[in-house]
Structure 1
Amino acid sequence: MARTKQPTRVPPDGAHENERLIGQNRKARHDYQVLDTLECGVVLVGSEVKSLRCGKLSLDEAYGRVRDGEVWLIGSDIQEYSFAHRQNHDPRRPPKLLLHRREIRKFAHRAHEHGLTLIPLRMYFKQGRAKVLLGLCRGRKNYDKREAMKQAAARRDIHRALRRGVPGARTRRGT
């Protein structure tokens, strides 16, 4: 009997099929305008990895800081792993982000020159390694946030109307 090919699974949000989302900063795209993104590795200790596999992460108030030619993730909260021994990791310990020197210089220069901020957009496991999607962002004013919400609502209405079919529009068959 011939084997049939299984349908390929389409990953959400353009994610790679070997990626498993740990957590994301949902307010980042609302509060900031994302100009550029970069994938970074993360230096973690054992109990942090176990805690991340359980999904115990908060990126709400986190940001990236360049210090001495290295990038650190400040303000992230990786909760203690409940099954680890008494020498557990510190939940507020800033993990180091792994980038090439060229990328660090480029992002640090752009952030410093233009008053931009490095914001973690999401953290995920990719082929077993923890990664952070770091965004180079500009803060939005309240009127910018309202304008973005209006544009998103208009875009949703257009897609909804196209999905339902616009009254009076002709179909492809010409009827």
Structure 2
Amino acid sequence: MPRPKPATFDKQKVVAENRRARFDYAVEDTYEAGIALQGTEVKALRAGEASIAESYAEVRDGQVWLVNSNIPEYSHGNRENHEPKRPRKLLLHEREIAKLTGAVERKGMTLVPLSVYFNAKGRAKLELALAKGRQSQDKREYIKDRDWKRDKARLMREKG
């Protein structure tokens, strides 16, 4: 019986990516969350303008919020333009929120955004990771393992 493929998200257009997150954190689990956005925020995202490099998510009052993400003001917006660094509500199921809350409170884990993208239906989504922070020693081991895997794959290709 073939092994089932891991669940991946249907990313049509990636707007912003947190490339440093997988290096700084050991990712345990990933979730796909919707983002509650205002009209001009969606237009700015469609233009490809966003940054989640220094952002994080937190659980407050039974809801998950994306904090410190930057979606700059839409260039053709009027006085109803959005605030660039406002906290944005993430849309998750109650069961997922309960699981995230338990992991953050009991295990000391962190909610790290990995990427913002549009799915096949044109909805803005956020890939959220439940992760544990790496120490500098862990990072060195991670780099060593990654380099060894790359060298091993190259050797296997060359030897046949």
Deviation of 1:162 (Å): 2.4
Does 1:56 find its partner at 2:43? no
- In 1, the alpha carbon distance for the partners of 2:156 and 2:52 equals 36
Aligned counterpart, 1:71: 64
Aligned counterpart, 1:29: 22
Q: Residue type of the partner of 2:154? A: R
Aligned counterpart, 2:3: none
- Whose radius of gyration is greater, 1 or 2? 1
Q: 1:41 to 1:15 in 2, by over 3 A?
A: closer
Q: Secondary structure at the match of 2:64?
A: strand
Q: Out of 102, 108, 133, which is 1:109 matched to? A: 102
The correspondence of residues 1-175 of structure 1 with structure 2, limited to 5 A, is 16=10, 19-126=12-119, 127-163=121-157, 165-166=158-159
Moved >3 Å (runs of 4+):
none
Deviation of 1:93 (Å): 0.8
Aligned counterpart, 2:5: none
Q: Residue type of the partner of 2:76? A: F
Q: Secondary structure at the match of 2:19?
A: coil
Structure 1, unmatched stretches of 5+, are 1-13
Q: Residue type of the partner of 2:22? A: R
- In 1, the alpha carbon distance for the partners of 2:18 and 2:112 equals 9
Structure 2, unmatched stretches of 5+, are 1-7
- In 2, the alpha carbon distance for the partners of 1:58 and 1:103 equals 25
Deviation of 1:161 (Å): 2.1
- In 2, the alpha carbon distance for the partners of 1:15 and 1:96 equals 20
- In 1, the alpha carbon distance for the partners of 2:78 and 2:21 equals 34
Deviation of 1:102 (Å): 1.2
Deviation of 1:87 (Å): 2.2
- In 2, the alpha carbon distance for the partners of 1:161 and 1:87 equals 58
Percentage identity across paired residues of the two chains:
48
* Cα shift readout 1:61-80 (whole Å, capped 9, x = no counterpart): 11111111110000111111
Deviation of 1:132 (Å): 0.6
Q: Secondary structure at the match of 1:86?
A: coil
Deviation of 1:160 (Å): 1.8
Q: Secondary structure at the match of 2:106?
A: helix
Alignment root-mean-square deviation, CA? 1.3
